[in-house]
Amino acid sequence: MAALSTWIRSGLPSGAGLAKTGCMKASAHLTINGPEDILGYIPHTLGYWPSRSLVAMTMQGKRLGATLRVDLPEGPATRRRREEFARTVADYLLADTDANGTLLMFFTNDGWSEPAGPHISRDLLADLESALGLAGMPVRDAWYVGDEYWRNVYCTDTGCCPLPGRSVAEIRDSRLNAEMVYLGSSVGEPPGALSFDGRGPEEKPEVVAAERRWADQLHARRASRPQFDRVLDTWELAMNAEPRRELPHELAGFLRATLGVPSWRDAVLVMAAAGRPAAVAGAEQFGIFSPRPGLQATGPSLEGRPGTSAGPAPAEPASSASAVPGTDGATVPADAVPSGESAPAPIPGYGEVLLGLRPELPDWNRMKSLEEVMLLLVSGGPGEAQAAAWTAKGWIEWCRGRGSFAHASLDRALAATPGYRLAELLSEVVRRGTICGWAARREAAWQKFGTDAA
């Protein structure tokens, strides 16, 4: 079976990406007038121009819905492989519960002189038509797209559809493509197109030195609840900072040092997606805190920063009050629930958050801020911190449904630190084509554009 690489939302966007340009409002509406516009929309949706790929896009009436990119089968495929491929495509598109039609785009350069199509058998197309029709999403139209030419799958009349096809320049120069560029969208290199040797582009000796100093101080404080709070305070400071072009050396070194503690690293991911209460509850659930008093919490100065602790954090851990059970063992203090009132909604566990099962809607803006911080930390130096930062980016991309980008980031993590456990686990999830829970639900899925295409 072909590896399912990319699943993203392209319709009903929220404006998380392009809204920052100030060129449009969340309610902006893009009108598609012809196939050139549809085909020009695909690279902006994926973030790159695909090759050897099937791109399937659902339709919700006359509106574009979800987009799925899969690798085309290599070489001749048996009937069983073709049918399995087609069923898999249909199964993934069923996540768009409002879909009532499908558009298919075959991106390949093979066999452009063949009237039947570029190395895509009619049998494969027929299997896709059958599977999607049975799923209630019949194929409405389909195209072949190569590096130089494109043409309609169903048009075999060389009088109106001469071989080898129409110039791809018509797609690149389409009205919708120009409008997307104006709105701030861009089409980059395919994920993993550039080689990577595990080193950041501009390693900073000052950051590496600060990281080592902080790591020495933090080692004895791994089980400290006050230190845990200080770590989250500092990460919130970094995510709240604007603009995020560069971090002070001491702050960058501290953040990289905290990524060397897996429980802190996971808490940062959970905090970005589900909020600080979930990060704290999960850490308590796993019992990472020592009940014994420890060293005073340490970290870069947070004096006067809004939303953070001013000055040193207390050395004594918080008292362990009796608790009301929550999801996956997560708890809230019993005295936090007034008499006669029901307990608040259970706080999601780490596993639920990391798989995108809860909360119902993650904080996509916060996750974007975390991604920006992680990319700044990548260039600080090699080692485990670099692997952790690339892994965090890979997880965020997977949550967005961008499997190809997730895979590329996780490869970089494993290049930085071979055997890095979280990167290995996430790589296996991506390899199997598993879709993040948020990406599989229309109401929760990340949406690149602040536009609506119809």
**pLDDT of 317 higher than 70:** no
pLDDT of residue 29: 63
* Residue 417: C-alpha distances to residues 111, 229, 232, 361, 420 (Å): 42, 28, 25, 32, 6
* Higher per-residue pLDDT: 12 or 266: 266
Q: Sorting pLDDT into bands at 50, 70 and 90, what band is 343?
A: low
**pLDDT of 64 higher than 90:** no
pLDDT of residue 136: 97
CA–CA dist 192, 173 (Å, integer): 26
Best CA proximity match to 238, nearest among 371, 385, 388: 371
**pLDDT of 9 higher than 50:** no
**pLDDT of 114 higher than 80:** no
The tokens for 104 are: 């298919």
With b for 16 or more beta-carbon neighbours within 10 A and e for fewer, the 126-136 pattern comes to ebbbbbbeebe
Pair 218, 315 in one domain:
yes
Pair 362, 250 in one domain:
yes
pLDDT of residue 341: 52
Pair 338, 312 in one domain:
yes
Pair 175, 244 in one domain:
no
Whether 395 maps to a domain, the answer reads no
At 414, the amino acid letter reads L
Whether 363 maps to a domain, the answer reads yes
Q: What torsion, rounded to 10 degrees, do the Cα atoms 271, 266, 373, 238 define?
A: 50
**pLDDT of 117 higher than 80:** no
**pLDDT of 337 higher than 70:** no
Q: Which range scores top for mean pLDDT: 4-13, 287-296, 302-311?
A: 287-296
**pLDDT of 22 higher than 70:** no
Whether 161 maps to a domain, the answer reads yes
Whether 232 maps to a domain, the answer reads yes
Q: How many CB atoms lie within 10 A of CB 401?
A: 26
* Higher per-residue pLDDT: 178 or 200: 178
Q: What is the mean pLDDT of residues 332-361?
A: 70
**Model pTM score:** 0.75
Q: Which domain holds residue 228?
A: 205-381
pLDDT in tens, 369-396: 999 999 999 988 899 999 999 999 999 9
CA–CA dist 319, 321 (Å, integer): 6
Q: Sorting pLDDT into bands at 50, 70 and 90, what band is 32?
A: confident
Pair 180, 291 in one domain:
no
The tokens for 210 are: 């600060």
**pLDDT of 13 higher than 50:** no
Pair 224, 165 in one domain:
no
At 131, the amino acid letter reads A
Whether 271 maps to a domain, the answer reads yes
Q: What is the mean pLDDT of residues 141-156?
A: 91
The tokens for 65 are: 């819905």
How many structural domains are present in the chain? 2
Question: In 269-339, at which residue ranges do the beta strands (DSSP E only) sit?
Answer: 323-325, 331-333
Pair 163, 283 in one domain:
no
CA–CA dist 200, 195 (Å, integer): 12
Q: What is the mean pLDDT of residues 243-263?
A: 92
pLDDT of residue 130: 97
Whether 352 maps to a domain, the answer reads yes
Q: Sorting pLDDT into bands at 50, 70 and 90, what band is 119?
A: low
Q: Sorting pLDDT into bands at 50, 70 and 90, what band is 11?
A: very low
Whether 405 maps to a domain, the answer reads no
User: How much of the chain, in percent, has pLDDT values that exceed 70?
Assistant: 78
Q: Which range scores top for mean pLDDT: 178-182, 244-248, 277-281?
A: 277-281
Whether 422 maps to a domain, the answer reads no
pLDDT of residue 158: 80
pLDDT of residue 53: 92
Q: DSSP alpha helices (H): ranges in 259-379?
A: 262-274, 276-285, 350-354, 364-378
- Paired with 63 in beta bridges are 60
* Residue 21: C-alpha distances to residues 13, 17, 162, 181 (Å): 15, 8, 41, 11
Q: Which of 25-29, 201-205, 354-358 is predicted with the least confidence, judged by mean pLDDT?
A: 25-29
Q: Which of 381, 400, 423 is the last residue of a domain?
A: 381
Pair 161, 223 in one domain:
no
Q: Sorting pLDDT into bands at 50, 70 and 90, what band is 77?
A: confident
Pair 20, 142 in one domain:
yes
CA–CA dist 52, 105 (Å, integer): 11
Q: Which of 41-45, 326-330, 445-449 is predicted with the least confidence, judged by mean pLDDT?
A: 326-330
Provide the mean pLDDT of the chain.
80
The tokens for 73 are: 């089968």
- Paired with 71 in beta bridges are 53
CA–CA dist 59, 62 (Å, integer): 6
Pair 32, 178 in one domain:
yes
* Residue 137: C-alpha distances to residues 14, 30, 95, 102, 196 (Å): 25, 23, 12, 6, 40
CA–CA dist 199, 165 (Å, integer): 43
pLDDT of residue 202: 63
Length of the chain: 454
Pair 249, 377 in one domain:
yes
Q: Which range scores top for mean pLDDT: 162-171, 241-250, 417-426?
A: 417-426
**pLDDT of 449 higher than 90:** no
**pLDDT of 268 higher than 60:** yes
Pair 212, 181 in one domain:
no
